[in-house]
Chains A and B, each alone.
Chain A
């Protein structure tokens, strides 16, 4: 039986975390990525979405070269004269936004469904779990493909597709956790006090089911970012005018053999760095929160 999160001193948790250098590097990377994405409009030399700021006379410049107005493009430009560095910063923003929002919406939806299933039990539980199992028996990639084929392209549609792909993971995990917590004394106490069902679920059950979900959310954000990039790469994700990292890579893909490596290599590195940072943090979180591996 796992030690409830609230019972463990925070200091011990932090000490555990910093003991692994990879995890610290991951965390530092993650913080960097989030800061860059949040402040992209102020950091980026150029707004890559604003067509009046672009000049395709500066198109296809190699990294480090200067345009005709003297601007130096650190990571080069694409054919529209779009600064790749700015493109990556804004693309990071889109990718993180899509990945995080879909993971959190899916988390909310999955958590609700999972808690209800565990709390109510019986036929409702059986039905929900059948559906969850069914969905989980198909690969997320395939479901996402179908959904995008049905929904069409666009930021909102991609998020919706990613939510529908992910909710079942949360539902299953939180249900399992909730079933354990359900029979604990404090829930029984709440029942004795005759609290409303919604209050018991949201105020008591949910907070105690969160710890194992932190790991899942972390991993899912990384997965969602990857999946969105893949769909965009296949040409059925985001529209060109709102490029995520995946779309930037896709656009540069055709120019690899022509030697314009910077178009897809740099955004690819940014994507890899982002996903890797999140995974390093998540992986170590799992080790810390899992009492079995913690012993070793």
Chain B
């Protein structure tokens, strides 16, 4: 072959290849377990919604796959003093309808969030620290907070930015729909009229429960997406979702059922993507009340609550065969946990490992605590919330029964379980905690700090655990502005409150799984969001 011919041959094959990939890369079809409930990014603080929003809208700060903060619509954020932050915004960004992005849009968004009508779970928490928004110029803001708020950047990574100009124009054209621009309800987003962001994809169509159809925003500031179009279809049924992938109906699915991981991995036509998640499954024990509703003596009589004794809690932790639960019950889709966030995340300890499985030691410790024969408890848990939740509960009950704590399992739908758990109706609870901010300090603050509803501490402390030394440690840590120092202090608090006091008993970190056909690549995210702009071709 002459050089010229070779050149031409290469050229044609390159063109063919380009054509082939272009044809392939045109539409990305994704099957997800749960679709969003609304396209209003501030309507419902819910994983599937937050995930879907990332395709259409941007946040000031983005979280990468490992939940580390990256510049989004803000290029930098710096504390000026203890209670104010300067935010510099990205220049030259426009919304999908062509309106330019600027500081007024941010101010408008922050003012709207607490006012969204009919919201079943608002995003108010992420702006409640902000006491004032000062627009310095079109691309500079100063945010004031009432208290020192070192975690403000994490909050800024949670909410999507809307266009003030677009919203004003829409209200002017439809004057009857709301009294002011901050009170327009979510239906105007669902219709698509206001679902306008700066994100990597534009919305084409959506209806509740129906697929979300998107087209690429080729002018995206972060680079055009790898696909010209995308269809994200909710397929709640696990088997149906996997079947859709296997039959080629979709290119990628999330929430690969744990039992199917091995067979999908073995199939050369598909790739499995996995990462440890930000969700820890754990036991919360009533460590407060003298008499606890679901604790009984072996003869069924009422006894003083043994769960208040740290030795009993430690024995329970030692009784758990976490390795086996992860391998058998979770089909390998979990890693044993010794704290509430996996090592590597902000504020996680590098040294705090899962309690070693030691049933003999656990029995000895129970005897030392005055329960040589054990006692009886009921383990309450949900049956539709976490991966394999009711199965985990049964395995934990097996383990506890083996050391003498006779355990009955009672599971119910999340619809009734969480309400009862919050009303303190249970003694031992199986729960999960996904840290949306990717940082352990606020998790420990919610779960283990002495409950105080006025100050907002211990909001999810369903065991009413209380320890003065821990309160002091976490209180101090959460005031530290320097990230490295704060993380070290949070880690030390975790080592104390979980490693020594067993305020909660972590079981495992759930793993997140995706499966895609050969040729599709993605970066698996710890927060389990399927973000289309992070999916590419190979």
A259 to B260, CA, bound (A): 8
A143 to B194, CA, bound (A): 41
CB distance from A103 to the nearest CB of B (A): 27
Residues of A52-94 contacting chain B, CB below 8 A:
52, 54-57, 59-60, 79-80
A79 to B259, CA, bound (A): 10
| A79 and B401 within 8 A (CB) | no
Residue among B242, B325, B394 with the highest chain A CB neighbour number at 10 A = B394
> Sorted from nearest, which 7 A-B pairs have the closest CB atoms?
A258-B259, A59-B328, A258-B260, A255-B259, A52-B401, A51-B398, A56-B395
| B260 and A257 within 8 A (CB) | yes
Can you add 9 more A-B contacts, CB < 8 Å, to A54-B394, A79-B328? A51-B394, A52-B402, A56-B328, A79-B391, A80-B394, A239-B411, A254-B239, A254-B257, A258-B259
| B411 and A57 within 8 A (CB) | no
Residues of B396-441 contacting chain A, CB below 8 A:
397-398, 401-402, 406-413, 416
| B398 and A80 within 8 A (CB) | yes
CB distance from A188 to the nearest CB of B (A): 56
Residues of B307-346 contacting chain A, CB below 8 A:
324-325, 328-329
A56 to B401, CA, bound (A): 13
| A254 cross-chain contacts in B, Cβ below 8 A | 238-239, 257, 259
Produce 1/0 per residue, A33-62, CB < 8 A to B. Answer: 000000000000000000110111101100
Produce 1/0 per residue, A230-261, CB < 8 A to B. Answer: 00000100011100000000000111111110
B383 at the A interface (CB under 8 A):
yes
A208 at the B interface (CB under 8 A):
no
CB distance from B232 to the nearest CB of A (A): 22
Q: Which of B246, B328, B409 contacts A241 (CB 8 A)?
A: B409
| B398 and A259 within 8 A (CB) | no
A56 to B399, CA, bound (A): 9
A56 to B327, CA, bound (A): 10
Residues of A254-276 contacting chain B, CB below 8 A:
254-260
Please judge, given known A-B contacts A57-B324, A80-B391, whether A241 and B411 are in contact too, CB under 8 Å. Answer: yes
A90 to B412, CA, bound (A): 21
Select from chain A the residue with minimum beta-carbon distance to B381: A240
| A57 cross-chain contacts in B, Cβ below 8 A | 324, 328
| B324 and A56 within 8 A (CB) | yes
| A79 and B409 within 8 A (CB) | no
| B262 and A240 within 8 A (CB) | no
A153 at the B interface (CB under 8 A):
yes
A152 to B324, CA, bound (A): 33
Residues of A109-138 contacting chain B, CB below 8 A:
none
| B360 cross-chain contacts in A, Cβ below 8 A | none
| B398 and A54 within 8 A (CB) | yes
B390 at the A interface (CB under 8 A):
yes
| A239 cross-chain contacts in B, Cβ below 8 A | 410-412
| B329 and A59 within 8 A (CB) | yes
Q: 30 A-B contacts, Cβ less than 8 Å apart?
A: A51-B407, A51-B409, A52-B402, A54-B394, A54-B398, A55-B398, A56-B324, A56-B325, A56-B395, A56-B398, A57-B324, A57-B328, A59-B328, A79-B328, A79-B391, A80-B394, A80-B398, A239-B411, A239-B412, A240-B383, A240-B390, A240-B411, A241-B410, A253-B239, A254-B238, A254-B239, A256-B239, A257-B246, A257-B260, A259-B263
Produce 1/0 per residue, B256-277, CB < 8 A to A. Answer: 0101101100000000000000
| B411 cross-chain contacts in A, Cβ below 8 A | 239-241
Residue among A59, A80, A253, A258 with the highest chain B CB neighbour number at 10 A = A258
CB distance from B359 to the nearest CB of A (A): 12
| A153 cross-chain contacts in B, Cβ below 8 A | 412-413
A154 to B262, CA, bound (A): 35
Residue among B246, B384, B412 with the highest chain A CB neighbour number at 10 A = B412
| A257 and B239 within 8 A (CB) | yes
B243 at the A interface (CB under 8 A):
yes
> Which B residues fall within an 8 A CB radius of A?
238-239, 242-243, 246, 257, 259-260, 262-263, 324-325, 328-329, 383-384, 388, 390-391, 394-395, 397-398, 401-402, 406-413, 416
Select from chain B the residue with minimum beta-carbon distance to A154: B412
CB distance from A89 to the nearest CB of B (A): 19
Q: Which of B238, B259, B398 contacts A52 (CB 8 A)?
A: B398
Total residues of chain A contacting the partner, CB 8 A? 24
CB distance from B332 to the nearest CB of A (A): 12
Interface secondary structure of A, over-half rule = loop
Please judge, given known A-B contacts A79-B329, A79-B391, A80-B391, whether A260 and B398 are in contact too, CB under 8 Å. Answer: no
CB distance from A154 to the nearest CB of B (A): 10
Q: Which of B263, B328, B383, B395 contacts A60 (CB 8 A)?
A: B328
CB distance from B269 to the nearest CB of A (A): 15
| A258 cross-chain contacts in B, Cβ below 8 A | 257, 259-260, 262-263
| B390 cross-chain contacts in A, Cβ below 8 A | 240
| A240 cross-chain contacts in B, Cβ below 8 A | 383, 390, 394, 409, 411
CB distance from B247 to the nearest CB of A (A): 12
Select from chain B the residue with minimum beta-carbon distance to A255: B259
Select from chain A the residue with minimum beta-carbon distance to B260: A258
Residues of A141-197 contacting chain B, CB below 8 A:
152-153
| A51 and B412 within 8 A (CB) | no
| B259 and A260 within 8 A (CB) | yes
| B243 cross-chain contacts in A, Cβ below 8 A | 257
CB distance from A132 to the nearest CB of B (A): 33
| A59 cross-chain contacts in B, Cβ below 8 A | 328-329
Select from chain A the residue with minimum beta-carbon distance to B243: A257
A33 to B394, CA, bound (A): 28
| A257 cross-chain contacts in B, Cβ below 8 A | 239, 242-243, 246, 257, 259-260, 263
| A56 cross-chain contacts in B, Cβ below 8 A | 324-325, 328-329, 394-395, 398
| A235 and B384 within 8 A (CB) | yes
| B395 and A80 within 8 A (CB) | yes
CB distance from B226 to the nearest CB of A (A): 29
A241 to B411, CA, bound (A): 8
| A256 cross-chain contacts in B, Cβ below 8 A | 239
A56 to B242, CA, bound (A): 26
| A253 cross-chain contacts in B, Cβ below 8 A | 239
CB distance from B253 to the nearest CB of A (A): 12
Select from chain B the residue with minimum beta-carbon distance to A82: B394
A257 to B188, CA, bound (A): 41
| A259 cross-chain contacts in B, Cβ below 8 A | 263
| A55 cross-chain contacts in B, Cβ below 8 A | 398
A257 to B239, CA, bound (A): 7
Select from chain A the residue with minimum beta-carbon distance to B400: A51
A260 to B331, CA, bound (A): 13
A244 to B453, CA, bound (A): 43
CB distance from B281 to the nearest CB of A (A): 15
| B260 cross-chain contacts in A, Cβ below 8 A | 257-258
| A51 and B329 within 8 A (CB) | no
A294 to B190, CA, bound (A): 64
| B416 cross-chain contacts in A, Cβ below 8 A | 152
